[in-house]
Each structure stands twice: as C-alpha cells, then as structure tokens.
A and B are shown apart, each in its own frame.
Chain A
Amino acid sequence: MKKFWDIIKQYFPLLGFCFVIVFFAIATKGAILSKQSMQSLLNSVIATALVSLGAVFVFGSGNFDMSMGGCLAFSAVIGGYAAIATGSLLLALFVCLVVSLALGLLKGLFAAFVEVPLFIVTIVLGSIISAVVLVIMGVNVTIHLSDSMHEIRSFTFGEISFINLLILGVYFILSVVLFDLTKIGRQIKILGGNPVTARQTGMNARKIKILAFLISAVGVGLAAFAILVRVRAVGTTTAGSMGTDVMTALVLGGMPLVGGPRSKISAGLVGAATITVLNAGLTMIGLDLATIQTVRAIIFLAVVYVASVSYRTKLLPR
C-alpha cells in the first residue's frame, strides 16, 4: 500500500494535469479539447513553458531567479526594436537570444562570485531591468511591429501554433538531453542537493552556476521571440507576472524549489501546461471573476500542500 502511494505521489503532478484536463473537458462539454482550443492553449503556454524549462536548471542548481519576467520583457523590447528597424524577424530572434544570454551571464556571474543572496540580487536586477525598459521606451507603453516602415511578415493562427510547437519541442529535447543525459545535468542536481559535497568532489561550482543561468537564458530569449512573433506588440507590461507564473508552474509540476536530485525537467512543462489549462478552463466555463480566483487559490493551495508532503521543511529557498 505504501508503495502504491509512493507511486501516486511521484506522478501526482501528471495526475493533477490529467484531472484538470478531464474536469474541464466535462465542464466545457469538450470545447477545451477542440482543435482551436488546443492551438490556443499551446500559444498561451509557450512563454511560461520555455521559461519554466530553463528555470529548472537554475532552481535545480540551488539558485533562485526572480528577474525572469524583466529579462524577458527587456529581450522582447530590444528584439522588437531590431525587427521594426530592419524588418527582419531572424535578426529579432538573434537579438532576443543575445540580450537574454548577456543578462543570463550577468546573473550567473553574480551567483558564482558575489556572496549576496541571489534571491535579493535577482529581485533588484528585475526592478533595474524594468526601469531600463521604461527609459528605452520613453513615452511609449507598447511598441508594435506594425509601426515598422518595413513589411514584417505576420503569421496565421495555425502557423503561430506550428512555430510555437517547433520552438518548444526543440528546447524541451535540448533541456532533457542536457539535464538528464549529460554530466552538466548531473552536476547541477548534485550542486542543488548539497553544495558542500559538490565542492568537495572537486566540481567547479562557479562554472556550473554560470552554465545553468546561460541555459535558462536561452529559454527566456526564445520566449521573448515567441511572444514578439505571436502578439507583435511588446512593452513595459510584457511578461509582468512571469516570475510568479514560473514559480507556480514549477511547484505544480512537482519541482522542489530548493533544487537537488528531485529536480526534473518535466516539472517545467507539466506545471506550465496545468496552470494554462486551469486558467483557460476557468475562463471558458464562464465563472465570475471572484469565483475563478477563489477556485484557483484553493487548487494551488491543495497542490502545494500535497506536493510538499515529502519535502515540506525544505520548500523555502536558501
């Protein structure tokens, strides 16, 4: 019996996701499973999923990052300006990635060399980046690709879904390979599990931390590009709730926020998908806003409670 419940606990996030799907499939009389709805869900989940996948590397190594939303907005805005100036979406992709990697490197260096709690550093960094975005944009709140003098290709709903699926698929495979099948992934988990032991094994902890932030930055850069291509409008409010969305997704996905060997790549994807289906489903069944917020809060509390049963005393970050 104990073994049975251990298995249940292990697959709880996935079971929770399946339950949410089934529940809303019944509540919406199948509407949530329609082709259009599935494409919509994919388009909605993409940014959170990409950032969450990358965040597994950072959180898995025992670090903490609250600046992901700010970094995403900054990358998307700079990428947006590049696209508006040149009309090239490929250049925008390149710029989004470069900007995000530069910010990731900065955070990695802080994590590796500065003895200040990264939790504080990334909160401050997020605020600074948001302020820089405001300065760059001046009086504009949002920039639109349609403001470009050049013709920037727009995509149909179906094409966007295909692009999103491609980006997410490639980054997911890359993440699985790096996290589960390479030395880097193993070192990240060991570092997150016990940094003292990790250092005593001769592992270069600084290098691992920097690498974790760089891999995470690729996800942020891709998410910035995905948002830019999909909505063609980015600005100071872009990804404003990304920091909390990612943390919620990771917890819903069964990821211990302290990192370590329990960390799993699937947490980023399962958690992001669960939160997206939950939000979309609650909207689709037409509940009033107060009820939506109440139901969501109850579900989150319940999931966090159950998910933390085995590591409750270790849930908070260092």
Chain B
Amino acid sequence: MKKTLALLLVIMMMLPFAACSTGATETPAPAAAATEAPAAEAATEAPVAEGPALSADGRYPAETIKIGFVNYDTSAEQVLAIQKYFTYLQTAFNFEIIWSESIDSAEGEYAFIEQCAAAGCKGIIGYYNIGKEESVKLASSLGMYYWGQAGGADETYAAVADDPYYLGAFFTDTDPNYAWGYAIGQSLIDAGCKNLIVMSGGKDYGVDFFVKRYNGIMDAIKAAQDAGNDVKVVYEVPGWPGTEEFAAHQTAALATNADGLAGTLTCLMWLQPMQVAGKMGQIKFGDIGAVSADLVDLMGGGIYVCQCAEVTDVFGMAIPMIINAVEGYGAQQRTAEGKAARVDYGSWIIKTPDDMAYYASIESETGTWAVDINDVKTILAAYNPGFTVDTMSALYTAVSAAEIQARHTAE
C-alpha cells in the first residue's frame, strides 16, 4: 500500500512539470498543417500597409508558430549559441521551438519529425540531417515546411528543390571550409611557424567538410614551401577529442618541436595538455570554432593567431523563412524558377583580439547580435513586402564588424 502511494506521489510530482510547459497550454493544429497547401500565391493579397497583425504580447505573427529543431548534440557549443539567439528572436517573433534530444540515427530523426507534426509544428529546422531528401519528403508529407541543407549535396537539393514545403537554406557555391583551412595555414606561416601539428578531425573518415579544411591547410603549406619557406608538418593528429587514441596522438605531437597547431576543429582542448607538457606559449593556434570572450586574451597573448567561425545568426534565417511560408509569403523567398532558396552567407576569419572581442560581445545574451531583430524584419514579407532571396543573401553575407556596425548605426 505504502509503495503504491509512493508511486502516486511521484506521478503527482510530474504534473507541475507539464503544467509549466507553454506547449501544453496551446492549441495545436496538426490536421490543418497536414492538409493546407503552401499559400505562396497569396503573397500579393496579404495586407501589409497597416502593419502586420500581432499577438496579444505584441509579437509577430499573431498566432504562435511551432517549429521542430533536429539536433545531434544537445550540448554542442553552436547549438547552445543558437538557443540563445532564438531566445533573443522570440522577444519580437511569435514562435516556439521543440528541441530534439541528441539524435544519432535516421529512425530517431524520422520519429522526431513525426512527433513534431503531431504536436502541431508548422516547420522543421534540419540542423542535423541523416535521411537527406527523405527527411524533407517526410516533413512535406506531414504538411510541415523544412529548412536546412538536407545533407548539403547538390543532388539532394535538386531532389527536393521543387517541393513547395522545402524552403532551402544557406548554401554557397564557393564552400568556405577550404578557404578557412587555407586562412589558418597562411596565418600560422605568417606568424613565423615552421613546424606544424595538423589536427585533421574527421578527414580520415571521409567527412566532407573536414577534408576540405584539411586540404586548405595543406595547400597553404605547399604554397609557402613553393615560395621557399621551409615550413613542414611534424605531426598529424586524426579524430576527435574524448578518445584514448586522440589523447595518445596529442601526447606524441606535443613531444615534437612543433611551434604551430592548425585545427580543423577547435584547439581549446590542447591548452591543458600543453600546460602539462610545459609548452604553453611555444605553440601558436589557428582553428575553426566558435567566437568566445575566452579567446580574446589568448589572441592578445599571441597564442591564437587566427580563428575562423560560423556566424550563429546565419542559422536564424530559418525563423523568418518559416514564418514567411506559414503566413503565405513563401513565393517571395524562392528563386525565379520557383525553387527552394539558396541563400549566400558570410563567415568570420578573425586575426585580431579587437575583432574577437567585438564578435564575442555581440554574439551573447547581452549583445546586439550580428543580425538583430530589425535586420530580420527586412526579410519578413509582413514588414518588407519587396524582399527577395537576394535581400536575404545581402543580409547574411554582410557580417563583418564594419558592416554590422554600419547597419546597426543606420537603425
């Protein structure tokens, strides 16, 4: 008897959790989402002159839009940054995110997409995609818009580009990964490094972006060698941190006479081993990671000479694109041929502590963000009826400190 009562007590404990959920207080409309067609043609008929209809708390649009976010690692630095940015956008835009748990398989991805449809989501952000075009087709068949690169390959895009529920994402014809790798290699060489450790990440596993980053680093080294520089690679560290193999390679690499570390991923996990090995300050870093206030001092102290970083705000374009589509302005954000958008985007190659300090300060809860709420409104049809994919590309490529400051000053 007592044991059963204990169980009931546990159940009672669960109720407040559910009651606290905002999702539980809303009216999901999966059936409507599943049957409605994209109202792209309605774009010209939508009233915009008097300003868009807002919710009771003054956010656009009037009705909350639920969006599912497919995620592979709930603790990833970039995911946490995206969460902060979305929280910032939610102060002006009426959307709600259902975050997936860490998904590592196609069946998990499909189950989450289906659950989102049942929960009344109108859109899916495919931050992580294993099913490629099949994930897009599933979301489409359930009446939800899909934002994301869907695997990133041109053939995948081609397979779903005509699907009105596929919104597209940021793409670029000149992949930045190679340029990032080259910039890292070049910066270390310019800083006088002669003996480099190269951290190749998933290159040996054939992970495309790691291969490109690695090739960029190696080409920069080769170009310097061709120009008479005697720079060379003294050790290559494959794989990811967190494994015994990686730790063994790390120890072996630190036993060399290396004076530079080129990382296809963040090098921060080298700081402690370097300190233990007594090499602190003897090896300069160049890597691809996320901007952080912690790096300002490291860059000022000459440990970091270069960091290439994706701009978190670029992922935020999913929100206005989904809102546009749900509100009936989908056609405006498609190409002239009616295909899903391929929005150009920029990234950061940071070489000075001032730049690092600036980017780290804006990309925070207290900052203004590179693409702020007013910027986002320029690609929402309800606020800017004339916007096109080119408007979006112009916004998301203008992410240098000077461009951000100029834009925000004008606002």
Contact = CB atoms under 8 A, between A and B. Distances in A.
B133 interface: yes
Interface in A28-64: 28-29, 31-32, 34, 36-37, 39-40, 43-44, 47
Interface stretch (B95-103, B237-245, B325-333): B95-103
Interface stretch (A191-199, A265-273, A277-285): A277-285
A238 interface: yes
* A39, A232, A305 — most chain B CB neighbours (10 Å): A232
Interface stretch (A95-103, A169-177, A287-295): A287-295
Nearest to A156: B141
A142 B130 contact: yes
A206 interface: no
Interface in B101-141: 101, 104-107, 109-112, 114-120, 130-134, 138, 141
* B74, B101, B106 — most chain A CB neighbours (10 Å): B106
A27 B115 CA distance: 14
A87 interface: no
A230 interface: yes
Given A142-B106, A157-B138, A284-B119, A27 B24 contact: yes
A121 interface: no
Interface residues of B, number: 54
A159 B174 CA distance: 41
Contacts, number: 161
Contact of A233 (B23, B106, B115, B141): B106
Contacts of B206: 138-140
Contacts of B106: 142, 227, 231-235, 238
A305 B4 CA distance: 10
Nearest to B31: A34
Contacts of A34: 30-31, 118
Nearest to A37: B118
Interface in B67-117: 74, 96, 98-101, 104-107, 109-112, 114-117
Contacts of A294: 17
Contacts of A154: 134
Nearest to A31: B28
B142 A291 contact: no
Given A283-B115, A306-B4, A230 B74 contact: no
B130 to A, nearest CB: 6
A47 B4 CA distance: 32
Contacts of B98: 283-284, 286
B276 to A, nearest CB: 31
Interface string B5-44: 0110011011001101111100110110010000000000
Contacts of B110: 43, 230-231
Contacts of B27: 29
A285 B132 contact: no
* B1, B105, B132, B205 — most chain A CB neighbours (10 Å): B105
A154 B133 CA distance: 12
Given A146-B133, A231-B134, A288-B99, A40 B105 contact: no
A40 B7 CA distance: 29
Interface of A: 5, 8, 19, 23, 27-29, 31-32, 34, 36-37, 39-40, 43-44, 47, 138-142, 144, 146, 154, 156-157, 227, 230-235, 237-240, 280, 283-289, 291-295, 298-299, 301-302, 305-306, 309
Interface of B: 1, 3-4, 6-7, 10-11, 13-14, 17-18, 20-24, 27-28, 30-31, 34, 66, 74, 96, 98-101, 104-107, 109-112, 114-120, 130-134, 138, 141-142, 159, 205-206
CB-CB nearest 6 A-B residue pairs: A286-B23, A139-B206, A40-B114, A37-B118, A231-B106, A284-B119
8 contacts: A27-B18, A36-B30, A36-B34, A36-B118, A44-B115, A238-B107, A285-B23, A286-B23
